[in-house]
A and B are shown apart, each in its own frame.
Chain A
Amino acid sequence: MQEFLKGLWKENPVFVAVLGMCPSLAVTNSAINGLAMGLATTFVLIGSSILVSLLRKVIPKQVRITTYIVIIATFVTVVDFTLQAYFPDIHKALGAFISLIVVNCLILARQESFASKNGQWRSFLDASGMGLGFTFALFTLGAIREVLGNGSLFGVSLFGKAFEPWIVMILPPGGFFVLGFLLLLFNWSAQRRKQRKMQTA
């Protein structure tokens, strides 16, 4: 269970490990985009982790990274086709960033540091935790940016016509602002946790 939970908060890939920044900043201009990107990444991560962990004794060390990339790329392309066929609007919004999941360092990092050394069940837990942590982070970013930048959530207007949207929030700089504040929050909470531990000790 520890393997699953760590990815959600304590080792959150975005807010703690600061991995996968490119999609976290680029596609989180609305809640639905963040959610879709997170789920697509989670699917790829779980699929490749299980496969890599099953094949960890078969793949020679010297060509492991290449093989991981082939496995990841296959899953990504399947996701790409599936989204294009069944969720064309989301595919349009995410655009090139779907194919770029291949080079998301979060996924390769989990293969190299976890799946290639652990059994498939533990790798599955680790991948789901990390994937959901990533989804949670992207969704939070997307939701905050959509509410402030567009006055809506999931496309539903929240404040009526009187609200003047902060357009900067859905433009690239807004991604950096929101990410900065969330990182601040996470570090602050980690620090408090540490302090409390010190006091009780």
Chain B
Amino acid sequence: MSTEEQMTFDQEPEPSSFRLIATLGVAGFLSGLVLVSSYLWTKPTIDANKAEEQRQAIFRVLPGTADFETFTLQDGQLQTATGPAEDRVFLGRDANAGFTGFAITGAEPGFSDIVTVIVGYHPADQAIIGYQVLDCKETPGLGDKIIRNEGFLANFSHLVVDPEIALVKNGTKKQPNEVDGITGATISSRTVVNLLNKAMTKWKGPIDAYLQAHPELEKTTGHE
């Protein structure tokens, strides 16, 4: 700052500290009002969007599903739950209320951030029958192939989860429980396999117990 500017600056009367504090206080207060009202205004739409996204994903991974029930894990057992939240599985039903399978979500740190995946699980076949990535920030063009690479998605049309899912090199899949990895996306492919194994370990027992307690579900299984 030049001396000339310094002088003009000094000549101006100094506003009182009270005025400075009051200005900032008023600015903060008004800004707060605007923020709260816009938050309240947009929140219902944001929540509806999220719920709708989840609905669509459940319908995609469980073919034929028209409706679903939400469950959470409590004391090692499936309990009915409501609303979107973490740690849920979804029991799918088709248009005639027949059982279509369970939709299970899993999350695991990938190459750059948490990868979240939802799969459709068919208990009678012990197989995954549908797959969709919900959230993924993997490298564009490499890791993000786990979202829509056709060869990779083909793994999940009927993937047996027993005893566990194994990742193999691209083009060497022989067993029904093996996943053909993506060349150039080894870490992201491994993340998906790990997260599915973890999710299955967590949910398989409670789901089997639930099905034993509700034998009518097994009979109405419509999936081939």
Chains A and B form a bound pair: yes
User: Which A residues are within 8 Å of any B CB, using their own CB?
Assistant: 29, 58-63, 66-67, 70-71, 73-74, 77-78, 81-82, 84-86, 88, 95, 149, 165, 167, 170-171
Q: List 26 A-B pairs, Cβ < 8 Å.
A: A59-B23, A60-B15, A61-B12, A63-B23, A66-B24, A67-B23, A67-B27, A70-B24, A71-B31, A73-B31, A74-B34, A77-B35, A77-B38, A78-B34, A81-B39, A84-B49, A85-B42, A85-B43, A85-B46, A85-B49, A88-B49, A95-B137, A165-B141, A167-B141, A167-B142, A171-B140
Size class of the B contact interface (CB-based, 8 Å): 20 to 34
User: Which B residues are within 8 Å of any A CB, using their own CB?
Assistant: 12, 15, 19-20, 23-24, 27-28, 30-31, 34-35, 38-39, 41-43, 45-46, 49, 53, 137, 139-142
B140 contacts which chain A residues (CB < 8 A)? 29, 167, 170-171
Whole-angstrom CA separation of A59 from B19 in the bound complex: 9
**Looking at the complex, which one of A78, A95, A170 makes contact with B141 (CB distance below 8 Å)?**
A170
Query: Closest approach, in angstroms, between the C-beta of A64 and any C-beta of chain B?
Result: 9
B24 contacts which chain A residues (CB < 8 A)? 63, 66-67, 70
Which of chain A's residues has its CB closest to B19's CB? A60
Which of chain A's residues has its CB closest to B140's CB? A170
**Looking at the complex, which one of A61, A70, A149, A171 makes contact with B28 (CB distance below 8 Å)?**
A70
Chain A contact residues: helix, strand, loop or mixed? helix
A29 contacts which chain B residues (CB < 8 A)? 140
Which of chain A's residues has its CB closest to B12's CB? A61
Task: Give the interface centre of B15, B23, B24 by most chain A CB atoms within 10 Å.
Answer: B23
Are A82 and B38 within 8 A (Cβ)?
yes
Chain B contact residues: helix, strand, loop or mixed? helix
Whole-angstrom CA separation of A14 from B53 in the bound complex: 36
B46 contacts which chain A residues (CB < 8 A)? 81, 84-85, 88
Whole-angstrom CA separation of A74 from B139 in the bound complex: 32
Are B45 and A62 within 8 A (Cβ)?
no
From known contacts A60-B23, A85-B42, infer whether A171 and B35 are also in contact, taking CB-CB under 8 Å. Answer: no
Which of chain B's residues has its CB closest to A92's CB? B135
Which of chain A's residues has its CB closest to B137's CB? A95
Extra A-B contacts (20), CB below 8 Å, given A61-B12, A85-B46: A29-B140, A60-B20, A62-B15, A62-B20, A67-B23, A70-B24, A71-B27, A71-B31, A74-B35, A77-B35, A77-B38, A82-B38, A82-B42, A84-B46, A85-B42, A85-B43, A85-B45, A95-B137, A149-B141, A171-B140
A63 contacts which chain B residues (CB < 8 A)? 20, 23-24
Whole-angstrom CA separation of A167 from B46 in the bound complex: 33
Query: Closest approach, in angstroms, between the C-beta of A15 and any C-beta of chain B?
Result: 25
Which of chain A's residues has its CB closest to B142's CB? A167
A73 contacts which chain B residues (CB < 8 A)? 31
B42 contacts which chain A residues (CB < 8 A)? 81-82, 84-85
Whole-angstrom CA separation of A85 from B43 in the bound complex: 7
B139 contacts which chain A residues (CB < 8 A)? 171
Task: Give the interface centre of B15, B35, B41, B141 by most chain A CB atoms within 10 Å.
Answer: B141
B27 contacts which chain A residues (CB < 8 A)? 67, 70-71
Whole-angstrom CA separation of A95 from B112 in the bound complex: 14
Whole-angstrom CA separation of A94 from B35 in the bound complex: 20
Whole-angstrom CA separation of A95 from B136 in the bound complex: 12
The list of the 9 closest CB pairs from A to B, nearest first, reads A167-B141, A85-B42, A85-B45, A74-B31, A81-B42, A60-B15, A78-B38, A70-B27, A88-B49
Are A58 and B23 within 8 A (Cβ)?
yes
Are A78 and B53 within 8 A (Cβ)?
no
Query: Closest approach, in angstroms, between the C-beta of A59 and any C-beta of chain B?
Result: 6
Are B142 and A78 within 8 A (Cβ)?
no
